[in-house]
Amino acid sequence: MQFDIITIFPEFFSGPLDHGVLRRAIKSGICSVATHDLRSFTHDRHRTVDDRPFGGGEGMVLKPEPIYDAVFSLGITPKATRNTTKETVVLLSAQGRPFTQAMAHELATTERVVFLCGRYEGVDERINDLLCDREISIGDYVLSGGELAAAVIIDSVVRLLPGVLGNPDSARFESFGADDTGNAHEPGAVPPSTHGSGGLLDYPHYTRPAEFHGVPIPEVLMGGNHDQIRRWRRQMALAKTLRNRPELLKGVALSAEDRRYLQTLSPEADLQG
Ligand code: SAM
């Protein structure tokens, strides 16, 4: 899979791409990431990438011509003539659709993603109209540039590519992970996953020592009874999701046992899917 990043700060990416899972994925050739300096696509002495907004107002806007030329230099055509399931052009923007794990999975099925990193007040909207088939926000806050957002998205997509994580189950059974069965669990049955997946947040993890600053690990984890461990992990995932992200529960296939457990935590919880 190939990532291209169009930015006025190409050197920004040497840090985020140079560690851990991402570094290994790039080194082993599973993905490649190329940065492209937007200023190389300007034609004036000052290498100007921005201009004042029509209609007045605060700040500067990234001009359309250098971005259009940069995208074309990559062999990418306007969205009307492109197979956007193979080659997608993403505008990073606080006004975009919120980025989710489901979107990360979707992007991981494409062959090439081109990121346009905005700066200042943003990018001339005609670039969005002509070239971008996705406009993505990484959260409800305003960053000073799209570079951090591109790095976040690349990280979350690359770890989903086959061969990147040593154990592929790691990406399936973690927060927001898809439910293996795709179905609600049989009433009263222990859910098939050993983990808090199926759209829930992950359950809490513990490692050695068994006691730390006087706090022991939960006893069930020492017992070796895998059914009990599975049930406990599911309950912890339910409890954490209820506490931190209750809105996610509406999209989760809950078994009768899940519902009973949640009712014990919060009798008034609204669990309608
Ligand atoms: N005027 C814009 C607004 O109010 O929506 C904010 C522009 S911001 C200062 C500059 C650039 O940072 C944007 O063009 C975008 O590329 C990037 N950016 C800011 N917040 C972002 C977010 N939440 N997700 C993705 N990119 C973001």
CATH number of 181-265: 1.10.1270.20
pTM confidence score: 0.91
What confidence tier does 197 reach under pLDDT thresholds 50, 70, 90?
low
Ligand 1 centroid–CA 146 distance in Å is: 6
Percent of the chain with pLDDT over 70: 92
Ligand 1 centroid–CA 212 distance in Å is: 42
Per-residue pLDDT at 192 exceeds 50: no
Could you tell me the residue ranges of all domains in the chain? 2-158, 181-265
**3-state DSSP assignment of residue 173:** coil
Ligand 1 pocket mutation pick from 62, 93, 97, 119 by most atoms within 8 angstroms of CB? 93
**Interhelix angle 147-158/101-108, nearest 10 degrees:** 70
Residue located via tokens 């034609």: 43
Whole-angstrom distance, CA of residue 210 vs CA of residue 222: 9
Pairing of the two strands 32-37 and 2-7: parallel
> What is the domain class of 2-158 according to CATH?
alpha beta
- Confirm or reject: Cβ of 59 under 6 Å from ligand 1: no
Chain centroid offset of residue 55 CA: 35
Average pLDDT on 141-154 reads 98
Q: Judge whether 236 and 214 are in contact, CB under 8 Å.
A: no
Chain centroid offset of residue 81 CA: 27
pLDDT for the residue 37: 98
pLDDT digits (tens, 9 = 90+) for 68-99: 999 999 999 999 999 999 999 999 999 999 99
CA distances from 163 to 26, 63, 100, 172, 238 (A): 12, 39, 22, 13, 30
pLDDT for the residue 172: 73
| C-alpha torsion sign, points 79, 82, 83, 89 | negative
Closest C-alpha to ligand 1, atom 22: 94
Query: Which H/E stretch holds residue 218?
Result: none
pLDDT for the residue 16: 93
Whole-angstrom distance, CA of residue 223 vs CA of residue 232: 12
Chain centroid offset of residue 80 CA: 26
pLDDT digits (tens, 9 = 90+) for 210-259: 999 999 999 999 999 999 999 999 999 999 999 999 999 999 999 999 99
Count CB-CB contacts under 10 A for residue 67.
25
pLDDT for the residue 196: 45
Chain centroid offset of residue 205 CA: 22
Pairing of the two strands 211-212 and 215-216: antiparallel
